[in-house]
């Protein structure tokens, strides 16, 4: 009897109920159900990779076109804050992985504490991002009507530009730093939005976990959230060197 025949002849309750309630009837086993859910999650994440890929491609092309502006723009970012944020995010990926392991091995306390740690690290990341955005706001580096090229046409007036040894730039090229900051805010902003969505989901998961949830073996949500959180980490793994690091020298 092949599996297709089983799928078409099995009516809703044509067999003994020796399986947990969360196992849907159209799946052969819980493993198959879990893999189907993960497969769907991966398809979603692949569309997300395409989405961020468009932003990365735009960044690479504009960086080649307006290279001096992009170098000067990236000198405005703090490597210290960026590195610390990378540390926070990688650690949060580790704590989330531990959360998934705790759920798989039915460790209630382990799951709750892993989720709390992931939540705190995620919020910490956004907090530092806020500090960075605030500095951009104060220096008029937010693209739009109030954008100022002061730091780039007159680098000696700007602490960061001075420290990096920037040379004064012509107005034409200095204006292109606005393109750098547009892409900076688009990329880190979309990344931050994904973090905010992740933190909201984390809160819901923590709420359920504290009340003894995910201890019955039905942990697809925890596993798939883990995939999402690691994906957000991967985006930052590429954002950090591209935005903060690769123009240090020029």
Partner 1 sequence: MSEEFQNHDPNSGHTETEQHIVGPATYGIIFAALLVGTALTIGASYLEMGAWNPVVAILIACIKATLVVLFFMHIKYSSKLMKLTVGAGLFTFLILVGMSLSDYISRAWGQW
> Which residues of this chain interact with partner 1, rule CB under 8 A?
1, 3, 5-6, 9-10, 14-15, 28-32, 34-35, 38-39, 42-43, 46, 49-50, 53, 56-57, 60-61, 64, 79, 83, 86-87, 90-91, 93-94, 96-98, 101, 104-105, 226-227, 230-231, 233-234, 237-238, 240-242, 244-246, 248-249
d(CA 75, CA 70): 9
- Which residue, 38 or 150, has its beta carbon nearer to partner 1? 38
What's the min distance (Å) between Cβ of 199 and partner 1? Answer: 18
Name which of 89 and 149 has its Cβ closer to partner 1: 89
Minimum distance of partner 1 from residue 154's CB (angstroms): 26
Min dist CB 86 to partner 1, Å, is 5
Least separation, in Å, of the C-beta of 162 and partner 1?
18
Question: Two tokens at 24?
Answer: 């849907």
Identify the three-state secondary structure at position 158.
coil
Least CB distance from residue 35 to partner 1, whole Å?
A: 5
Crossing angle of helices 30-65 and 177-210, in 10° steps, is 160
Nearer to partner 1, 149 or 191 (CB): 191
Q: Minimum distance from CB of 210 to partner 1 (Å)?
A: 22
List, in order, residues 6 or more apart from 214 with CB less than 8 Å away.
103, 111, 205, 208, 221, 222
Asked if 225 contacts 201 with a C-beta cutoff of 8 angstroms, the reply is yes
Q: Which of 203, 187, 201 is nearest to 242 (CA)?
A: 187
Task: Identify which of residues 133 and 238 has a Cβ nearer to partner 1 in the complex.
Answer: 238
Please identify, using beta-carbon distances, which residue of 142 and 235 lies nearer to partner 1: 235
Closest CA to 141 of 60, 200, 77, 221: 77
C-beta of 185: minimal distance to partner 1 in Å? 21
Distances (CA, A) of 186 to 88, 95, 125, 243, 249: 21, 28, 17, 12, 24
The three-class DSSP label of residue 213 is: coil
- DSSP codes, 93-153: HHHHHHHHHHHHTT-HHHHHHHHHHHHHHHHHHHHHHHHHHHHHHHTT-SSSTT---HHHH
Nearer to partner 1, 38 or 148 (CB): 38
- For partner 1, which is the closer residue by CB, 108 or 140? 108
């Amino acid at each position: 009897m092949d599996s297709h025949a089983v799928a078409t002849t099995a009516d809703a309750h044509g067999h003994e109920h020796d399986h947990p309630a969360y196992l849907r009837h159209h799946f052969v086993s819980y493993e198959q159900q879990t893999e189907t859910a993960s497969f769907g999650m991966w398809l979603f994440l692949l569309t997300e990779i395409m989405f961020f890929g468009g932003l990365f491609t735009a960044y690479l092309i504009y960086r080649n076109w307006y290279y001096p502006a992009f170098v000067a723009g990236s000198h405005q970012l703090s490597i210290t804050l960026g590195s610390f944020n990378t540390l926070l995010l990688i650690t949060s990926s580790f704590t989330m992985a531990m959360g998934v392991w705790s759920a798989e091995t039915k460790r209630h306390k382990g799951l709750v504490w892993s989720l709390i740690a992931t939540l705190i690290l995620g919020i910490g990341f956004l907090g530092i991002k806020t500090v960075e955005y605030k500095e951009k706001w104060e220096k008029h580096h937010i693209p739009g009507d109030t954008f100022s090229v002061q730091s780039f046409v007159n680098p000696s007036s700007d602490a960061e530009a001075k420290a990096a040894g920037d040379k004064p730039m012509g107005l034409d090229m200095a204006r292109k730093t606005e393109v750098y900051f547009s892409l900076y805010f688009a990329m880190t902003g979309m990344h931050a939005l994904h973090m905010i969505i992740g933190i909201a989901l984390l809160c819901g998961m923590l709420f359920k976990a504290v009340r003894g949830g995910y201890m019955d073996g039905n942990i697809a949500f925890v596993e798939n959230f883990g995939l999402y959180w690691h994906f957000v980490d991967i985006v930052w793994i590429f954002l950090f060197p591209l935005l903060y690091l690769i123009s240090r020298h020029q």
